[in-house]
Chain A
Amino acid sequence: MQTLIPSLLTSLLYLVVFGVALGGRIKQIEGIPYLEYILPGVALMNLVTGSQMNSSWSVFDAKRERYIDEVLIAPMSDLQIALAYSLGGTLRGVVMGAGVLLVGAPFVGVNIAHPGLLLLIGVLSAFTFSALGTMVGALATRIEHISFLTSVVIQPLAFLGGVFYSVGMLPEALRIATLFNPIFHTVDAARYATLEVSDLNPYPTIAVVFLLAALAFCGAWWAICRGPNLRY
């Protein structure tokens, strides 16, 4: 609970500060009340940061304290080990994202349009960033590398991924740059699943999310096979 509650509170703060404060100025985006509009993105943001932090720290701490040796000498393949760490972070991310939705949805008053699709997007997004976290945890040689991932890569990408605004509100150059932000695609797909609005055509976006998950997992698998300081 001590890991879930702080992130839940942070997300609710975003809803209150951005939604209530800015919601008075930005009444609607694409016909959706602002508070409702940002809820899926805030949940995704929580999911993404939670999943990658869980797996990156899990792998890094295990490597630092060498209790990862127990896993490496067990009768498991590197693929299984990478999958195990990635799925562990996925579960945490999904729980954290779901927590925001469960608490925020009644508060905001939103009904989820496609719950099954939202679950799929949530699981895939959590898996993608958990796999990324696994890769970074396996490759990192210092704690600063893990912190770097979270504070310099993930959080900026999350804030710039269309969580609090529509990409259509940006100048052309920034709109194009946003297309290269992986978190934007997960947020856009989640927004479609929740509210049936999106900046891009939803089905290619969902395909991109699948592709990101596959690529991230390949990275995690490679890192478990070849990461420095894992094997001697």
Chain B
Amino acid sequence: MNGTPALRVEKLKKTYSTGVLALDGVSLEIGAGKFFGLLGPNGAGKTTLINSIVSLARPDSGSVEVFGRDAYEEFREARRMIGVSPQEINLDKFLTVEETMLFHAGYYGVPKDKARERAGELLERFALTDKRKQRVNTLSGGMKRRVLFARALMHDPKVLFLDEPTAGVDVELRYKLWGYIRELNHGGLTILLTTHYLEEAEALCEEVALINGGRIAAQGTSAELKERYGAASIEEVYLKVVGRDTGG
């Protein structure tokens, strides 16, 4: 896998049945072990891009490779390498926290004894051990977010997609989650973070792409983007790029 990008997306196009053009030939490449941010306003195509990679959306054309494996032709191998913490909380309200983790592990073929061990580790890491027997619908919003994180990591993925991971969480939890995400990345996990919190992208990401109207409008490291657009911050870059794209 040396030198093989963690994710390669080529000319991905997606138009919804309503006629909305969500992705207009998006191409990007994320190196193994990188922390990549995808910024954009609501409706820019961030979630559609993630959904297209994990086969929740059916792109009209284009290709996706995960560590060299075609995401559609070799979907088992590709999906096994991906963990997703989605934007919306999509937990089965009838399951306990522990059941949520163990069922997820089952979907990925993780043996039961290994799954129990891994669940215990993750529950402890995310301070959910005392909640393990509680039904997820009794948890606070912040705890549910932590369960989503922990669930996404149960099968030990190589690439982690975090779709607006700190949306709706308080500041304290946001910083805690940042710390944990950094730790995961330092351990070698490739991360694709989508967010419209610009300080989050600036604080965490090595490289950033700005997506707007289904197209990558700009891409580079924070330093490169600031220099290119003569901006002092990513926020300024964002406003210049998105503003330019929308004619503002």
A residues contacting B by CB (< 8 A) are 62, 65-67, 69-77, 231-232
Q: How far is the CA of A62 from the CA of B90 in the complex (A)?
A: 9
Q: Is the CB of A72 within 8 A of B56?
A: yes
User: Knowing A62-B92, A65-B92, A75-B79 touch, does A70 contact B104 (C-beta < 8 A)?
Assistant: yes
Q: Which of A62, A69, A71 has a CB less than 8 Å from the CB of B86?
A: A69
Q: Is the CB of A231 within 8 A of B93?
A: no
Q: Is the CB of B16 within 8 A of A232?
A: yes
Shortest distance in angstroms between A123's beta carbon and chain B's nearest beta carbon? 23
List of A residues within 8 angstroms of B92 by Cβ: 62, 65, 67
Q: How far is the CA of A65 from the CA of B78 in the complex (A)?
A: 25
Of the listed residues B51, B54, B86, B107, the one surrounded by the most CB atoms of chain A closer than 10 A to its CB is B107
Shortest distance in angstroms between B69's beta carbon and chain A's nearest beta carbon? 11
Q: Is the CB of B75 within 8 A of A232?
A: no
User: Knowing A69-B56, A231-B57, A232-B51 touch, does A76 contact B90 (C-beta < 8 A)?
Assistant: no
Q: Quick one: which of B146-191 are within 8 Å of A by CB?
A: 151
Q: How far is the CA of A77 from the CA of B79 in the complex (A)?
A: 11
Q: Is the CB of A66 within 8 A of B16?
A: no
Q: Is the CB of B79 within 8 A of A232?
A: no
Shortest distance in angstroms between B135's beta carbon and chain A's nearest beta carbon? 13
User: Knowing A74-B108, A75-B108 touch, does A231 contact B56 (C-beta < 8 A)?
Assistant: yes
Chain B contributes a number of interface residues (CB within 8 A of A) equal to: 27
List of B residues within 8 angstroms of A71 by Cβ: 107
Shortest distance in angstroms between A230's beta carbon and chain B's nearest beta carbon? 9
Given contacts A72-B55, A75-B109, 12 further A-B contacts (CB under 8 A): A65-B93, A66-B88, A66-B90, A70-B151, A71-B107, A73-B79, A75-B77, A75-B107, A76-B107, A77-B75, A77-B76, A232-B56
B residues contacting A by CB (< 8 A) are 16, 48, 51, 54-58, 75-80, 82, 84, 86, 88, 90-93, 104, 107-109, 151
List the 10 closest pairs (A to B, CB-CB), nearest first. A74-B107, A66-B90, A232-B57, A75-B76, A73-B54, A75-B79, A67-B92, A75-B80, A67-B90, A69-B90
Q: Is the CB of A73 within 8 A of B91?
A: no
Q: How far is the CA of A73 from the CA of B88 in the complex (A)?
A: 15
Q: Is the CB of A67 within 8 A of B91?
A: yes
Q: How far is the CA of A73 from the CA of B107 in the complex (A)?
A: 9
Q: Is the CB of A74 within 8 A of B56?
A: no
Closest to B95 in A: A67
Q: Is the CB of B57 within 8 A of A73?
A: no
Shortest distance in angstroms between B163's beta carbon and chain A's nearest beta carbon? 11
